[in-house]
Every structure is written in structure tokens, then in C-alpha cells.
């Protein structure tokens, strides 16, 4: 017996012209699809799949949850209001990573500066994401006072320049300090589970929040990650629960962004499964953020290339995400990723220009 059905858009086409009733637009993006994989999750945890053309999907929406997912997949996403900035989500936008930490996995101990943030904005980043605590595998928590000392001056300087600034933190006190300094988005790798006060802080501030999937704590999350029903199914249901918890805490659903958490309590196989199935997460009805930049999966697939030599793989994963309708791409290499996004946009503009 089917417990739930998850809808995964597939069969992407360049343009909808001439395909009335046969294709649908994906989550308000510039992507169109012609079929859906219906992933039927049984009460016993087994998952079966069938391929259904878009023209027949509405006749297969057998329950309220599946109908809601279809409406979410084919609906748009509201723009993000971050301070004085409006971030449109009808095209992919870049979130630049600014690590104000001495122990990030990706940058060899270099600490981001305000000049780095200004350069990222000039290169085309829509959002500057400032973090003061490494959450790489094996990392230990940082005292909130130290974390505030790292992020507050950087957030204040970047926000004063007019940039849209987010803070990457799990701690309510750090959120409060960053918001007071001008941050306008909270990016929480724990999805508001680490600190009992965090949901209250976000709700009171009324700012957008990223809820990221994770399994376990950074110190131990890579020891034995397990997803009995498959990573895509488990992540989908987990994020669904966290969205509801956030809404119950008073957070506006329209301001919730979801992130599958590539590399957070996942094997290489889990990460690749999620990247292949990202389009299904649009059924949650929230903007989708993907951060696969310089992750270890890239090294695992290419002779254990170190973090600073994973640009090619980072771009490949970013484009895989964009092709499945990701609204936000979180990346270290801003110039190169923005260039890739703009070439992709050029391809889409050409495809979506009617022939005369």
C-alpha cells in the first residue's frame, strides 16, 4: 500500500512552444518539463516508480498531499526581500561564501574580508553569506562569543555597502548580533534544531531563512550516514517536517528556503542521488538552494583532488542543480560560477525566444 507519492519532474525541454498541455513550468524558473516520475513510497519503506506524461498527471493526483505537491512544482516563487535589495527567483542567483573562520575545509585557513565581499558583489553575487563557524566533517562547535566576533564586523561592513547579507550560523545569539549589524537572511545548517531560541529569533525578525538537511552533528556526521528509504525520499520528508515546525513557530512559509545539505551526513552515493533528484524537492513549495561547491564528493570522483582544485566539479554540480530549477547556488568561486550562470541564461533566453 502506498504511504506517500513524491513527484519528480523530468523530461526537460528547451521551450514550451507548440506543446500546449504537454509541458509544465518548473517552480517559476526558466525550465520546462514534459514528464513526472511518480515515486510511490510504501508503508514498508519500499519505493517504486512510474513515468507519467505531464498531460496525464492531474488525473493521477489521488490525495491532498500529492495535489499540493503538484501545485507547488508548477507554481512560482516570490522574490526575496533582503534589506533594500529584491532578489528575483525566476532565474538562478548566486550566494557567495565568505568564511570568517581559520579552519574552513575549502580555503586553506584564509579568513574572508570586507574587500572579498565587495569583490564578490562586483562579480555578480546576489547574496553574501558570512559564516564564523566551520561545520565541515569533524569540526567542533565554536563559542558564540568568538563566532560573533568573527561575523559581526564583516556583516556590518558589507550591509553598510548596500549588499544583501546572510549569516551562516546555528546559534540564536549570533543570529541576533548579525541581524542587528544588517544581515537580512539566516542560513542555518541545522534547520533551526541546534538552538532552542533560533526559530523564535527568525520569526520575530521576519527575515527569510534557509533550512538545510543534515544527519548527525558535524563532529560525527560522516561516520555511518544511513537512509533506509533512499536519500531523496528521506531528505524530502525531513525537510517537509522542518518546514512545518518553522511555520508552527511563527515563520512565514513564503520566507522559507530549503537546502538538501550536500555533504552533511551523506556518502558520495547519497550526494549523487540527491543531485540527480533535486527537482523533486520543488514539491515542498519553497525556493531551493544548493551548495555543492568544492565538496568532497568532487575529490572522490577525481583522484582525491584537494578543495582548491575542484572548480570544474563545482561548476558541473552547479549546472546540474540549475537544470533542475535550483533558485540559489551557494559557491566559493564567484566569478566563474556567475559566468556559467550567465551562459546558461543566454541559452535559455535563446530557447525561449519565439521564432518569427
| Residues with catalytic roles | 295, 330
- Using only C-alpha atoms, the chain has a radius of gyration, in whole angstroms, of 20
Long-range contacts of 306-313 (CB under 8 A, 24+ apart): 307/105, 307/106, 307/107, 307/108, 308/106, 308/107, 308/108, 311/336
**Beta-carbon count within 10 A of 241 CB:** 11
CB 258 within 8 A of CB 281: yes
Q: Determine how β-strand 2-13 pairs with β-strand 32-42.
A: antiparallel
Q: Which of 182, 119, 197 is nearest to 151 (CA)?
A: 182
Nearest 10 degrees: Cα torsion 144, 333, 317, 266: -20
CA dist., res. 195 & res. 189, Å (int): 11
Q: Which of 14, 59, 22, 37 is nearest to 282 (CA)?
A: 37
CA dist., res. 214 & res. 221, Å (int): 8
**SS3 sequence of 267-333:** CHHHHHHHHHCHHHHHHHCCCEEECCCCCHHHHHHCCCCCHHHCHHHHHHHHHHHHHCCCCEEEECC
Q: Which of 291, 331, 287 is nearest to 311 (CA)?
A: 331
Q: Which of 45, 43, 46, 49 is nearest to 6 (CA)?
A: 49
CB 325 within 8 A of CB 31: yes
CB 86 within 8 A of CB 79: yes
Show the cell assigned to 335.
Answer: 566569478
CA dist., res. 192 & res. 199, Å (int): 6
Amino acid at each position: 500500500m502506498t504511504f506517500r507519492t513524491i513527484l519528480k519532474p523530468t523530461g526537460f525541454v528547451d521551450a514550451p512552444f507548440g506543446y500546449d498541455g504537454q509541458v509544465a513550468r518548473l517552480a517559476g524558473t526558466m525550465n520546462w518539463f514534459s514528464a513526472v516520475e511518480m515515486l510511490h513510497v510504501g508503508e514498508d519503506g519500499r519505493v517504486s516508480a512510474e513515468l507519467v506524461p505531464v498531460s496525464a498527471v492531474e488525473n493521477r493526483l489521488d490525495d491532498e498531499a500529492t495535489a499540493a505537491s503538484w501545485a507547488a512544482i508548477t507554481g512560482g516563487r516570490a522574490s526575496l526581500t533582503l534589506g533594500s535589495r529584491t532578489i528575483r527567483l525566476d532565474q538562478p542567483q548566486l550566494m557567495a561564501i565568505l568564511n570568517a573562520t581559520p579552519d574552513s575545509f575549502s580555503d586553506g585557513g584564509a579568513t574572508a574580508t570586507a574587500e572579498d565581499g565587495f569583490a564578490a558583489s562586483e562579480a555578480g553575487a546576489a547574496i553574501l553569506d558570512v559564516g564564523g563557524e566551520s561545520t565541515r566533517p569533524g569540526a567542533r562547535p565554536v563559542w558564540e562569543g568568538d563566532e560573533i566576533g568573527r561575523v559581526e564586523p564583516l556583516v556590518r561592513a558589507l550591509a553598510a555597502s548596500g549588499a544583501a547579507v546572510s549569516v551562516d550560523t546555528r546559534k540564536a545569539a549570533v543570529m541576533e548580533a548579525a541581524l542587528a549589524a544588517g544581515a537580512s537572511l539566516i542560513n542555518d545548517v541545522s534547520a533551526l534544531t541546534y538552538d532552542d531560541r533560533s526559530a523564535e529569533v527568525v520569526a520575530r525578525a521576519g527575515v527569510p531563512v534557509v533550512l538545510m538537511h543534515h544527519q548527525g552533528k558535524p563532529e560525527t556526521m560522516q561516520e555511518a550516514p544511513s537512509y533506509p528509504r533512499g536519500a531523496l525520499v528521506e531528505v524530502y520528508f525531513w525537510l517537509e517536517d522542518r518546514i512545518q515546525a518553522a511555520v508552527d513557530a511563527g515563520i512565514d512559509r513564503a520566507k522559507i528556503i530549503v537546502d538538501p545539505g550536500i555533504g552533511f551526513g551523506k556518502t558520495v552515493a547519497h550526494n549523487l542521488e540527491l543531485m540527480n533528484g533535486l527537482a523533486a524537492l520543488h514539491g515542498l513549495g519553497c525556493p531551493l538552494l544548493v551548495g555543492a561547491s568544492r565538496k568532497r564528493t568532487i575529490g572522490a570522483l577525481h583522484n582525491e583532488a584537494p578543495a582548491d582544485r575542484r572548480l570544474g566539479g563545482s561548476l558541473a554540480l552547479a549546472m546540474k542543480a540549475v537544470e533542475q530549477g535550483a533558485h540559489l547556488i551557494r559557491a566559493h568561486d564567484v566569478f566563474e560560477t556567475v559566468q556559467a550562470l550567465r551562459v546558461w541564461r543566454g541559452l535559455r533566453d535563446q530557447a525561449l525566444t519565439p521564432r518569427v
